[in-house]
Amino acid sequence: MTDRHMERSLLVFAVWSVLGLLALVIHLQGLSLESYVIALTGTGLLLTAFGAHVIINAVFNTGFSRGETALGLSVFGVITLVFIGGTLSGGLSRANFLSGLTLLAAVVIAFLTYLITRHGLRGAFSRFHRRRDLGDGEAGG
């Protein structure tokens, strides 16, 4: 592992351990108090941590590692399942429902914004859609 790679890893770890955990604590406090404003503050801190991670990647001229991507998608999936479960059970207050919805929407918008700014609109679409060529050279469906 090179020194530059180690520096990047330590910076990313520092950002997420400070801002990420603070965002989690504040968001959970907002949910327990049923305060949309407090939960929204936690969501804002989460987006700040994501933005800092993107800036670190830009400074070190790298993208997200496979492990970072897998962890981020896994956490997003768990949060989504918990939100859907809470909504279907009817156990969410209006403030908690709006907080969860805002969190999910903000994460999706941040992810799409990152893809578009990093790869351009066409390149971002190409990350998900691969054109399949048939034997005669025409695009397939």
pLDDT over threshold 90, residue 112: no
Using one digit for the tens of pLDDT, what is the confidence trace for 31-74? 999 999 999 999 999 999 999 999 999 999 998 888 998 998 89
Q: State how far the Cα of 56 lies from the Cα of 61, in Å rounded to an integer.
A: 8
Q: State how far the Cα of 24 lies from the Cα of 15, in Å rounded to an integer.
A: 13
Q: Name the CA radius of gyration of the chain, rounded.
A: 18
Backbone angles phi, psi at 45, to 5 degrees: -65, -35
DSSP 139: B
pLDDT over threshold 60, residue 137: no
pLDDT, residue 141, reads 46
Backbone angles phi, psi at 47, to 5 degrees: -65, -35
Q: What is the pTM of this model?
A: 0.80
Dihedral sign for Cα atoms in the order 66, 72, 75, 79: negative
Segment 113-132 mean pLDDT:
68
Mean of the per-residue pLDDT values for the chain?
Answer: 87
Q: Are 31 and 38 in contact (CB under 8 A)?
A: no
pLDDT over threshold 80, residue 128: no
pLDDT over threshold 80, residue 106: yes
Segment 84-106 mean pLDDT:
93
Q: Are 99 and 38 in contact (CB under 8 A)?
A: no
